[in-house]
Amino acid sequence: MAIVDQIGNILNQYTGDSTPDREQARAHYDEIANAYPQDELASVIGPAVGRLDTPHLERKIEQSAQQMTPSQRGSFLGTLLGGLGSGAGLTGLLGSLGASPSVAADPASATPQDVARVATYAKENQPDLFHKAMGFYAQHPTLVKVLGTMAIASIAKNLASSGRRPGLL
């Protein structure tokens, strides 16, 4: 079976009501990540993950941020912060979210909770910024798996419904 057909079969499993179990979904994501170029994955991850309800999304992003290095947290959070403003306005916003205002100057010092709160705020208030920042996950397949089966299923459904064929790296 050609890889394109194999990926098509995987994606088709996510178009119905049933979702493969956690281990299957993780294995499927590995195959998807190997078949699609990072830029294509980056373009579907944000909209797909953004469909998760807010409490679930915040918890999943916090869990994935726990697996990130401080540098990775800083990179991801830096993208979000760059779109949210600067100066006193940004530090005030961070404080109102329950995130440390100091992360405005040093995103790598953010806790996983800080990352989750800012990402959730962006999803609710600036979805385009959230989608752009979530492209970070295309470079880190392990972190996508931490987001969980529902997130992987949503990514696969986005790819399946878009009709995009794998670029085959």
The residues spanned by each domain of the chain are 28-162
| Dist. CA 100–CA 114, nearest whole Å | 7
pLDDT for 99 equals 96
pLDDT for 1 equals 45
Q: Is the pLDDT of residue 111 over 90?
A: yes
Give Cα 153 to chain centroid, integer Å: 13
pLDDT for 164 equals 64
Instruction: Give 76-89 pLDDT, tens digit per residue.
Output: 999 999 999 888 89
Q: Is the pLDDT of residue 133 over 60?
A: yes
The number of residues making up the chain comes to: 169
- Mean pLDDT computed over 40-52: 91
Q: What percent of the chain has pLDDT over 90?
A: 55
Vertex 73, ends 146 and 79: CA angle to 5°? 110
Residue 159 contacts residue 8 (beta carbons within 8 Å): no
| Dist. CA 128–CA 24, nearest whole Å | 30
154: pLDDT confidence band, cut at 50, 70 and 90?
A: confident
Residue 157 contacts residue 15 (beta carbons within 8 Å): yes
The least confident of 33-37, 60-64, 66-70, 120-124 is 33-37
Residue 87 contacts residue 124 (beta carbons within 8 Å): no
Q: Which residue would you say has higher pLDDT here, 125 or 21?
A: 125
pTM, entire model: 0.88
